[in-house]
Amino acid sequence: MPGADLDKLRQQVRELTDRVGRLEASLAAQANASPVAETASPAFPGDPEILPQISDTTSILPVFGVALLGLAGAYLLRAVAESGVLPPRFVFTLGTLYAVAWLLGAARAPADRRLAAVVYSVTSVLILSPLLWESTLRFNLITTAQASAILVAFTLVGLAVSWQRDLLIVATISILAGVGTAGALLVATHDVMPFTFVLLSIAAAVEACACLNHWLGERWVAAAAANLAVLFATWLVTNPGGLPEAYAPISTHQLLAAQIALLAIYLFSVMVRTLLRGMAFTNFETVQCAVAFVIGLGGALRLSAGGSYVPSAIGAFALLCGVACYTISFIRLDHHGAHGRNFFTYSTYGILLMLVACRILLNDTGVAIMWSLLAVACIGAGGLWNKLTLEIHGGIYLLLALNLSGALHQAGDVLLGADPRPSLASTTLWMGAALAGVSYLLAARSTAGIGDGRNFRALRLAMAGVLVWEVLGISAGSLSAIYHGVSGVAAGDPYCATLRTGVITGAALLLALAGSRPVFRDFAQMIYPLMLLGAFRLVARDLHQGHKAALFLSLFLYGAALIAIPRLRRARAHA
C-alpha cells in the first residue's frame, strides 16, 4: 500500500505541474496580447512594483536634510566669528569658500538627481548673500569693491556649473542671486558704481552665453538690472539737485565708462548672433538695443551738457553706427530683394542713428541741409539699384527736412491760415518746392523701368502730394502779395481769402485738364484731395468773412469747379 500511495502522490504532483505550466502559458499569452491592461491593473499593498516609487519619493528627503546641514554649518561659522576665536576676515573667507563649495557640489550631483543640484545651488545662495550683506554693512569687513568682485565671481561659477550640467534652473538661480544681491547692496550702501559694474558684468556674461545659444530666457533679467543701474547713476549725477550727500562720489569717467559698456555689450552680442552666427533678431534684442542706445548715448550727452568734446564724439559714433547699419543692410543682408527680419531691423537702426547723429553734430540749418542731401541721395540710390527701402528712407528724410526748415508749415499758413499779407514767397518755400521737385523727379525716373508697382507708386504719389503742397503755398503767397500791392488794401481783406480758395480750386481744374497725360498721371490723383482741402478752407475761413460778395465768389468758384472737374476728366479720357 505504501507504494500505491507514493504513485498516487507522484501523479498529483505531475497534474499540478501541468496546471501551473498551462496557467503560466495563459498568463504570458495575455501579457503579449494586452500589455496596457497589465500596466493598468492596480497594485496591491506590499506589491514589489510600488517599492521603486516609494524609494524615489523618500530619496528627496535626504537632499533637504543635507541642505539644512549646510545652513547649520553657515550658522556655526557665524558663531565662531562672533566669539572671536578666529579673526573675522579669516572666517569670512571660510564662509565664502564654503558657499562656493556648495555651488560646486551642484556640479558633482549625478545627472539623474537634478533636484539635488537645484537645492545645493539655493543653499549656496542662502549662505553667500547674507554673508556679503552683513560683512559689508554691519561688520565692515570688506569694501564695496571687494563685495562686487565676489558677486561677479560667484555668478560666473554658477553659470559655469549650469553649463557643465546643462541645468537651466541653476543658471537662473545664479543670475537672480547676483542681480538681487547687487541691487540690494547698491541701494543699501549708497555706493552705486561698484554694483553697477557688477550688473554690467553679469549682463556681459549672460550675453556671452546667449552668443552660444544658451540661457536666452534669462537675458531680460540681467538687461533690465543693468539698464536701471546705469539710468539711476546717470540721474543721480545729472539731476538738478546734484548727487545726494548720502551717496558715495560718482566719477564722471566711471559713469561714462558704464554708459559705453552698456551699449557695447549689446551691440557686440547682437552683431555676433546676427552676423557671425546667422541668427534672426529676437524681440528682446530689438528692444534692448534701442534702450541701450537711449540710455548710453542719451546719458552721455546729458553728462556732458556743459560742453566738451564728448557730444562730438557721440555724434560721430552714432554716424558711424548708422553708416555701418546701412552697409550691413544693403550689402550683406540684401539677397536679391529677399529681405528678412535682420535686414529691416538693421536698416531701421540705420535711419534712426543717422537722424540722431545729425541732430547732435549740426544746428537746425545744418540738419535741414543734411537731411535734404540724404533725401536726394537715398531716393536716387534706391531708384538706381531698385531698393524700395532706400526710397522710403529718402521720403522720410524729405518730410523731416521740409518740416525742420519750416517749408511745410509756411505753405500751410498761406493756404489755410489768416491773411498775414505775406511777401511774394519766402526763400524757404522756394527751397522746399525745389527739394520736393527734385525728389519727385528722381522717384519717377527711377521707377519708370520697373512698372507701376503698388509700393513704388504709393511713394511717388506721396512725393507728388508734397510737391503740390509746396507749389500751392508759393502760388497763394505770391498772388496774395501781388493783390495787396496792386489794390493797396490792408491785411485781412475778404477778397484775399477768395483768392486763396480760387488757387486751390484752380489747381484742381488744371490737374483735371492735364491728368490724362502720362507725365501728370500721379498729379491727377491729387484732384479730389485738393477739393477736400478747398472745402475745409471754405468752412474754416471763407464762411467766417462778413463780406457777402467775397463769400459769393468763393462759393461760386468752388461750385463751378465741382461741376467742371468730372466733365473735364471724361472729356480728356475720350480724347
Residue 221 lies inside a defined structural domain of this protein = no
Residue type, 397: Y
Last residue of a domain, one of 174, 189, 204: 189
At 269, phi and psi to the nearest 5?
A: -60, -45
Whether 467 and 433 have beta carbons less than 8 Å apart is answered as yes
Numbers of helices and strands, H then E, in the chain: 23, 0
User: 190 — phi, psi (to 5°)?
Assistant: 60, 20
Helices (H), 34-87: 35-40, 51-58, 60-83
Residue 306's identity, in one-letter code, is G
Give the C-alpha distances (Å, rounded to integers) separating 30 from 17, 25, 27, 41, 425. Answer: 20, 9, 5, 13, 101
pLDDT value, residue 424: 61
Identify whether the C-beta of residue 424 lies closer than 8 Å to the C-beta of residue 489. no
Give the C-alpha separation, 8 to 3, whole Å. Answer: 9
List, as one string, the DSSP characters of 513-572.
HHTTSGGGHHHHTTHHHHHHHHHHHHHHTGGG-S-HHHHHHHHHHHHHHHHHHHHHHHHH
Instruction: Please enumerate in sequence order all residues whose Cβ is within 8 A of that of 361, keeping only pairs 6 or more positions apart, or say none.
Output: 312, 315, 316, 319
- Copy the grid coordinates of residue 336: 536679391
Q: Is residue 459 part of a domain?
A: no
CB 228 within 8 A of CB 236: no
What's the confidence (pLDDT) of residue 569?
Answer: 80
Paired with 338 in beta bridges are: 335
Full pLDDT tens readout for the chain, 575 residues:
445 554 655 566 566 566 656 655 665 555 554 444 344 344 434 444 333 343 444 467 777 777 787 788 788 887 887 787 888 889 899 999 999 988 888 777 665 567 787 888 889 999 999 999 999 998 889 999 999 999 999 999 989 888 877 778 888 899 999 999 999 999 999 999 999 999 999 999 999 999 988 877 889 999 999 999 999 999 999 988 888 989 999 998 999 999 999 999 999 999 999 999 989 999 999 999 999 999 999 999 888 865 667 888 899 999 999 999 999 999 888 865 557 899 999 999 999 999 999 999 999 999 999 999 999 999 999 888 888 899 999 999 999 999 999 999 999 988 887 666 555 668 899 999 999 999 999 988 765 545 445 677 888 899 999 999 999 999 998 888 888 888 877 767 788 888 899 999 999 999 988 877 777 888 889 999 999 999 999 988 888 877 788 889 999 999 999 999 988 888 766 65
Residue 570 lies in a domain: yes
Whether 244 contacts 236, CB under 8 Å:
yes
Residue 134 lies in a domain: yes
Torsion of CA 246, 252, 254, 258, to 10 degrees: 100
Residue 126 belongs to a domain? yes
Determine the pLDDT at residue 488.
76
Q: How far apart are CA 74 and CA 126, in angstroms?
A: 9
| C-alpha dihedral sign at 172, 174, 179, 185 | positive
Question: Residue 392 falls within a domain, yes or no?
Answer: no
Which pLDDT score, from 0 to 100, does residue 112 have? 58
In angstroms, rounded to a whole number, what is the distance separating the alpha carbons of residues 440 and 526? 14
Nearest to 469 by CA among 391, 518, 523: 523
From residue 245, alpha-carbon distances to 143, 190, 197, 256, 343 in Å are 19, 10, 22, 21, 48
112 domain residue, yes or no: yes
Tell me the β-bridge partners of 335: 338
User: CA 240, CA 302: separation in Å to the nearest integer?
Assistant: 12
Residues spanned by the domain of 118: 64-189
Phi then psi for residue 338, to 5 deg, are -85, 100
Q: How many domains does the chain have?
A: 2
Final residue before a domain boundary, out of 189, 218, 237? 189
Q: Which of 159, 189, 219 is the last residue of a domain?
A: 189
3-state secondary structure 453-496: CHHHHHHHHHHHHHHHHHHHHHHHHHHHHHHHHHHCCCCCCHHH
**Residue 350, pLDDT score:** 96
| Spatial contact of 470 and 407, defined as CB atoms under 8 Å apart | yes
24 burial class (0-12, 13-18, 19+ CB within 10 angstroms)? Answer: exposed
Classify 278 as helix, strand or coil: coil
Residue 238 lies in a domain: no
Kindly state the cell numbers that stand for 72.
547649520
Q: How far is CA 267 from CA 75, 255, 290, 293, in A?
A: 44, 19, 10, 9
Name which of 358, 446, 362 is nearest 396 in CA terms: 358
